[in-house]
Structure 1
């Protein structure tokens, strides 16, 4: 069952090994004795399972990063700067690498890369095994599933948010002293007709121009949908292309989106390339025969990636390290590039390449706790913004707006101030428990229902290849 780009069960795939259909030549024998990157492009005779559960672990980590970044945007915007003021010493949470956890910008980028990786995983495995017909069937079904598996949960979430909005659930958020909470909290409509019109409008604009006033976080749904379709199209177009050239095509598309100033588009095709590379028997054998790739190369790549992803979103000129990165960006990124997003993307690519070379890190990311977070990542993404602007705001600001604050221009009379630090840190972990408890219920019931509806839809509209053959046979004269 296809779980969509933000959610999925543990995936195991097979790494094929070379099984030539005829005796190898001398040059082929020499190549197999010292396998290179492109060895193993023939059909397989034996298989070895490689665990890629780490992808779900990374996805679970990404959902946490997204929550953290929205908490920081709500209550501590200084984290997005290298220091709180020009010339001031940085706080611990503003230091390189550490700041990644709190500024969380790389979270959505991870979703893009994982989408490319997962969408390419099964077709590439089937192409390498020579099962092209099965691969085409798999791609067709996955493409059919993709839209309802994204559209149904996001629409249900939008309807719920719209309903509680009309009940005034965001009134306190609209009067808080956090501009980001105020900005992302919708206003209720004056009458039911206007409310229904707004609901329909924003369900549509989520998929047309990436805007949903009831849940601004849904802006990612359209790029993720487009990215998955791009990968499916490339898989079909390169079905009979040799693996080495398919990987070149993936890198070519990566380069194209880099030049086009699209850091999200880059991630889909880098993810597909990484998926292809991880299933290349010659490359896998080469890595297994050399310990230095996991002991030395992987840590260097991960460290370099974390440094790059640490680039601050605001005021990079305030510290020497970020100022140097800003100057380098002018040389390596396209004109008018979103420098912070590009650095997050390039940093993530180095990190995931390091993970690719490190079985130890893969095992760490495959632990049952991160897998649980990965299982619930889509639900967390859909629910956390609303719970932040309602439950957490009520815990920090109270459940009602005093009369002296209910004015047309709240800047004239002041805004609701946030609670003290003790109350802040007391309620935050409790809110996280509420968030993940509700997300787990959403995954168990709502998302499972969406999956069942999707499967029924696919079963209803999909025609298996053998059905075409049966239909042709019936048309033949007896």
Structure 2
């Protein structure tokens, strides 16, 4: 079967599921084991096992959001590219137009619903224990109660709006990615319109040129990986790709192993204090020679690492088959729900299971100022004991969210589209050229 067949692109859903798991792992580390984001335990001090290259790849976690950026580009481009190759540009334009109109409400409605959940929890005082915990990263995520009905409604609306105008949401900080993904999508839609009548090899070259542009302008994640997704979608539906892989089976496996090794190594670049370890100093010095001036080294490292890893996946169909397992596909179907909900479970149920459900009165500090009395973290042992039921609860919530909330949002979007779309039942004049002028 051709590599571009529908049955062979399930691996992208599996990769999306893996991304959501990596995001969860990262936030567990941020809550309970922040040193993993450093190159070592201190200057001139040894590395812990999960700070080693390769071992720190998952814990440092930038790869999760980077995968979402790649998948967005791939998914937005795959169907139009297939239609372009079939010579059916008009159908591709229609597909792009419909996808572009639907894109914002399909992201906004579930994100807004998740914000409402967080808002309700905040107004009910469910984050009070979180605010008093000795975990300052978590405590900073506890949105204060507004206290009045009109004020709370205004704050809810403002936070939903901020998600799409400022990349901020004080009820759910993870939603900073929503605007980035939306803007990436529209850039890709515009790009696809522009290259519709190019030959496939020149479309691929154009996608690589856009990657170079994003590289030079220091867009290290979203557009860079989005256009890489466009490039990979084009490569996958290229008939010669499958023939090349089959004819060079052994070489592809050896190249993929090297790409995977380098990708995991580069993607392990520490978020902080790269100068504390020899391997990260060497990697930093190398990247400083190839990256634009004043780059975001951690994000660029993750982007480079993912491009190498995805290339390895493309040239080894067995890796695609592994990513297409029913377990990863299940995770992929629930990835958006997990992304939207997991921190609300962490900030309430997991926090209560660790710190209890009561707080201590505020006290006076040395300056005579009233200060929060912090609740003491019980230690990693109890954290690991409570982690399994908390994760089960998280994925149970995600399951029911995907079962009820997502379909409801989809129905709302469909009703909106029926209301606003042009009636095409009557004969229409084509406003797009059937062939290049």
User: Which band: TM-score by shorter chain?
Assistant: over 0.9
2 CA distance for matches of 1:351 and 1:252? 20
1:330, CA displacement in angstroms? 1.8
- Describe the superposition over 1:361-417 as per-residue Cα deviations: whole angstroms up to 9, x where unpaired: 111111010111111000000001111111111111111212246999999564111
Q: Does 1:119 align with 2:73?
A: no
Query: Against the structure 1 CA distance between its residues 393 and 460, is the aligned structure 2 distance closer, same or farther, given a 3 Å change threshold?
Result: same
What is the aligned partner in structure 1 of residue 418 from structure 2? 459
Find the counterpart in structure 2 of residue 342 from structure 1.
Answer: 300
How far apart are the structure 1 equivalents of 2:3 and 2:96?
18
**CA displacement at 1:83 relative to structure 2:** 1.5
Q: Please say if residues 3 and 241 of structure 2, whose CA atoms lie closer than 8 Å, have aligned partners that are also in contact.
A: no
- The 3 A distance-change label for structure 1 pair 368 and 328 is same
The equivalent residue for 1:181 is 138
Q: Does 1:93 align with 2:50?
A: yes
Contact 1:119 1:231 (C-alpha < 8 Å) held by counterparts: yes
- The structural deviation recorded for 1:318 is 1.1
Superposed, which structure 2 residues align to 1:376-455 within 5 Å?
A: 376-404=334-362, 412=371, 414-455=373-414
Q: 1:464 to 1:276 in 2, by over 3 A?
A: farther
- Which of 201, 204, 207 does residue 244 from structure 1 map onto? 201
Question: Is the alpha carbon distance of 1:406 and 1:52 closer, same or farther for their aligned partners in structure 2, counting shifts above 3 Å?
Answer: farther
What's the CA shift for 1:170? 0.7
Q: Does 1:268 align with 2:234?
A: no
TM-score (norm 2): 0.93
Moved more, 342-351 or 195-204: 195-204
Report what 1:76 is aligned to: 33
Offset from partner CA, 1:327-355 (integer Å, 9 cap, x none): 12221112221110100011000000110
Equivalent residue in structure 1 for 2:22, among 65, 73, 91: 65
Once residues 281 and 51 of structure 1 are traced to their aligned partners in structure 2, the CA distance between those partners, rounded to angstroms, is 14
Unaligned runs of 5+ in 1: 1-11, 16-47, 473-478
Residue of structure 1 in register with 2:258 after alignment: 300
Q: For residues 334 and 411 of structure 1, what CA distance do their matches in structure 2 show? A: 48
Q: Does the Cα contact within 8 Å between 2:360 and 2:373 map onto a contact in 1?
A: no
Is the Cα contact below 8 Å between 2:24 and 2:342 reproduced in 1?
yes
Q: Residues 280 and 466 (structure 1 numbering): CA distance in 2 closer, same or farther, change over 3 Å?
A: farther
The TM-score normalised by the length of structure 1 is: 0.86
Question: Contact conserved, 2:69 with 2:225, CA < 8 A, in 1?
Answer: yes
Structure-2 separation of matches of 1:468 and 1:103: 55
**Greater Rg over alpha carbons, structure:** 1
Aligned to 2:134, what secondary structure does the other structure show?
coil
Task: Give yes or no for contact 2:114–2:341 (8 Å, CA) kept in 1.
Answer: yes
CA displacement at 1:469 relative to structure 2: 3.0
The corresponding residue for 1:27 is none
- Inter-CA distance 438–409: structure 2 relative to 1 (3 Å threshold): farther
Cα 1:325/1:279, change in 2 over 3 Å: same
Provide the rounded CA distance (Å) in 2 between the counterparts of 1:411 and 1:420. Answer: 27
Give per-residue Cα distances to partners, 1:408-443, cap 9 Å, x unaligned: 999956411111333211100110000000001000
| Residues 8-45 of structure 1, C-alpha deviations (whole Å, 9 max, x = no match) | xxxx9974xxxxxxxxxxxxxxxxxxxxxxxxxxxxxx
CA distance in 1, matches of 2:369, 2:345: 23
Whole-angstrom distance in 2 between the partners of 1:318 and 1:112? 30
Conservation of the 8 A alpha-carbon contact between 2:364 and 2:370: no
Looking at structure 2, the residues matched to 59 and 411 of structure 1 have their Cα atoms a distance apart, in angstroms, of: 46
